[in-house]
């Protein structure tokens, strides 16, 4: 930003010099043609500088927009992965609580000497769901790792 301020200051100074040159040359016709040439050269130089600076500003703006877009896409992807991981964690917590309840009921039935098939089925079903949830969490973690590796592999390729 300080560079832009410096450039604006330089442009203003150049325009003031040009204006002063026109005022001085207005009274002297012989000096007017010499000053006009010098002033035209100064004006052309300032126009060239302005065009270069405009191009640099445009290039910086384009680069910044590209970086912001890339970062926004990455944040969106990471947010989605975090949401998926959070959902799997909640599912695992619920299934672990169900499994603990089923095992406690099965243990109480075994202590009483009663073999209750529905408790065994419930316990086995809950354990199977817990294993599925663990597998889903592992798959989500693998996908996260692969999504991080993919850009690196593409860079190398």
* Per-residue pLDDT tens digits for 82-99: 888 888 888 888 888 888
Q: What is the pLDDT of residue 59?
A: 92
CA nearest 130: which of 89, 99, 107?
A: 99
pTM of structure: 0.48
Rounded Cα distance between 107 and 113, Å, is 10
Rounded Cα distance between 77 and 113, Å, is 54
CA nearest 137: which of 106, 74, 95?
A: 95
Domain that holds residue 88: 2-156
Which residue numbers in the chain have pLDDT < 70?
Answer: 1, 22, 24-34
Helix ranges, the chain (H): 2-26, 29-111, 117-156
Rounded Cα distance between 7 and 94, Å, is 64
| Tally of domains within the chain | 1
């Amino acid at each position: 930003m300080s560079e832009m301020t410096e450039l604006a200051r330089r442009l203003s100074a150049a325009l003031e010099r040009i204006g002063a040159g026109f005022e001085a040359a207005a009274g002297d016709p012989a000096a007017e043609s010499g000053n006009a040439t010098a002033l035209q050269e100064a004006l052309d130089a300032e126009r060239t500088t302005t065009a270069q600076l405009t191009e640099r500003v445009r290039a910086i703006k384009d680069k910044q927009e590209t970086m912001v877009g890339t970062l926004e896409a990455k944040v969106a992807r990471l947010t989605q992965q975090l949401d998926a991981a959070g959902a799997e964690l909640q599912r695992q917590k619920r299934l672990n609580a169900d499994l603990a309840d089923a095992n406690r009921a099965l243990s109480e039935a075994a202590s009483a000497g009663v073999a209750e098939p529905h408790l065994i089925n419930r316990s086995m079903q809950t354990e199977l769901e817990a294993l599925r949830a663990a597998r889903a969490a592992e798959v989500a973690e693998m996908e996260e790792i692969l999504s991080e590796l993919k850009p690196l592999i593409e860079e190398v390729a």
